[in-house]
Chain A
Amino acid sequence: EAQVTQNPRYLITVTGKKLTVTCSQNMNHEYMSWYRQDPGLGLRQIYYSMNVEVTDKGDVPEGYKVSRKEKRNFPLILESPSPNQTSLYFCASSFVTDNEQFFGPGTRLTVL
């Protein structure tokens, strides 16, 4: 089944404790992206990747890191999480930027 998977789905952590949210797609998509969703603000892009080893900042990259060592995986790293990073995070992928994006199920992160 073609899909985007994210893990974990839910995470409660404390300020400053490094964490990684994994994202994997099995559709051989070149384009992958991370978004955060907050009430009233819609989906804001954090980072995106056009292909392996190519990553670029989105609109809200501060406090986040990503890597794209393999085509299928695009992990999101929070080196030192803070409470303002409490949010719902979505990973998405598509063949290219102007194709439909397939979203993962989301990761709800709470930073205390």
Chain B
Amino acid sequence: GQQVMQIPQYQHVQEGEDFTTYCNSSTTLSNIQWYKQRPGGHPVFLIQLVKSGEVKKQKRLTFQFGEAKKNSSLHITATQTTDVGTYFCAGETSYDKVIFGPGTSLSVIP
């Protein structure tokens, strides 16, 4: 079946280091969304990418959508303790289904 994978599953970084999580789909996606879930909280929408090769920035966060619309990445520059949480990608398939990746859990060591 259709799958969305994310790597790495866990990442521990020193505060100030950069962080990247990668999302890969087994099928072409209509769009991809990224969510952040703080420990004990619920997922919160960050951004949506729609176009092939699209790049969007939000302050220290950079989001990319692959040319083939099957992969995406989230890069955080100079991590802060407020970046702690699990980052999920969610891809919409051509059948109006949204599939979430398993998430990347980020820990930031002060």
Contacts and interface: CB of A to CB of B under 8 A. Distances in A.
A74 interface: no
Interface residues of A, number: 23
A43 B102 CA distance: 7
A50 B90 CA distance: 18
A97 B100 contact: no
B102 A103 contact: no
Given A45-B97, A97-B92, A98-B92, A40 B102 contact: yes
Interface residues of B, number: 23
B98 A105 contact: no
Given A90-B43, A100-B45, A100-B48, A42 B101 contact: yes
Contacts of B100: 35, 42-45
Contacts of A104: 42
B88 interface: yes
A42 B31 CA distance: 19
Contacts, number: 53
Highest count of chain A CB atoms <10 Å: which of B43, B99, B101: B43
Contacts of B31: 98
A33 interface: yes
A2 interface: no
A97 B95 CA distance: 10
A45 B103 contact: no
B107 interface: no
B98 A45 contact: yes
Contacts of A41: 102
Interface in A10-63: 33, 35, 40-45, 50, 58-59
A40 B102 CA distance: 6
A99 B98 CA distance: 10
Interface in B4-61: 6, 9, 30-31, 33, 35, 42-45, 48
Q: Which 8 A-B pairs have the closest CB atoms?
A: A42-B102, A100-B45, A43-B100, A103-B42, A97-B96, A42-B103, A103-B43, A42-B100
